A and B are shown apart, each in its own frame.
Chain A
Amino acid sequence: DTGVSQDPRHKITKRGQNVTFRCDPISEHNRLYWYRQTLGQGPEFLTYFQNEAQLEKSRLLSDRFSAERPKGSFSTLEIQRTEQGDSAMYLCASSPTLPGNEQFFGPGTRLTVL
């Protein structure tokens, strides 16, 4: 296994369009996390999954954002009706179940909303 992968690496879209990102975690990891990182800031937690169950969602995750992990493996993050303020790096991470375990991060998807 080569680590956490994310696709696409870059996405440019026009305001109002929908976008979907994919994350493939390390195969034996039960937990999968989504973060958003803007320039000069640390990652902000969006949501996480334990297997296919979405256990927590941040208040940052507006109704336009939805995440799924249907089979407990890969996950998708969809943003509907994108806004310029959605421009950011979207990071995915995975870890084994226990909360103190290291999270392994993917390379991120950089979203630019024009």
Chain B
Amino acid sequence: AQTVTQSQPEMSVQEAETVTLSCTYDTSESDYYLFWYKQPPSRQMILVIRQEAYKQQNATENRFSVNFQKAAKSFSLKISDSQLGDAAMYFCAYNNNDMRFGAGTRLTVKP
């Protein structure tokens, strides 16, 4: 069974600074997809960034980028120039046919 582990229940970052959220996963598959989703308080889950396992290049979306280490089964999210609106729960997810989520990291952004 695929499992996703987020070892940081909470993280804090100063506005305009950079923060990295960790995620590891376990799978025996070679072809899969990885996602970071953001869930603001009392709001819907939205996609932040997606990585295809067969692509070596790390995905980037504006201020968000990932460090994908396939051999280590690691998929961390870096948020640059943090903004107050980045405060949310962040979930790492693994997808082969169904989606498996980690327990989440609560990110606080300090003004």
Using a CB–CB cutoff of 8 Å, the interface residues on chain A facing chain B are 3, 33, 35, 40-45, 48, 55-56, 58, 91, 93, 99-100, 102-103, 105-108
Taken residue by residue from 34 to 45, chain B's Cβ proximity to chain A (1 for < 8 Å, 0 otherwise) reads as 010100000111
Contact A42 B103 (CB under 8 A): yes
Tell whether A99 pairs with B103 under 8 Å between CB atoms, given A91-B45, A105-B44, A105-B45.
Answer: no
Shortest Cβ gap from A26 to chain B (Å):
13
The one of A42, A55, A58 in contact with B101, judged by C-beta atoms closer than 8 angstroms, is: A42
List the A side residues contacting B35 at CB < 8 Å: 102
Q: Can you list 30 A-B contacts with CB-CB less than 8 angstroms, sorted by A residue number?
A: A33-B98, A35-B101, A40-B104, A41-B104, A42-B6, A42-B93, A42-B101, A42-B102, A42-B103, A42-B104, A43-B45, A43-B91, A43-B99, A45-B99, A55-B97, A56-B97, A56-B98, A93-B99, A99-B33, A99-B95, A99-B96, A100-B50, A100-B52, A102-B50, A103-B47, A103-B99, A105-B37, A105-B44, A107-B43, A108-B44
What does the 1/0 interface line of B77-111 toward A look like (CB < 8 Å)?
00000000000000101011111111110000000
Interface residues on B, range: 20 to 34
Please, which residue of chain B has its CB at the minimum distance from the CB of A55?
B97
Contacts of B47 in A (CB 8 A): 102-103
B99 to chain A, nearest CB (A): 6
* CB-defined contacts of B45 to chain A, threshold 8 Å: 43, 91, 93, 105
Compute how far the CA of A55 lies from the CA of B71 in the bound complex, rounded to whole angstroms: 30
Q: Is the CB of A107 within 8 A of B44?
A: yes
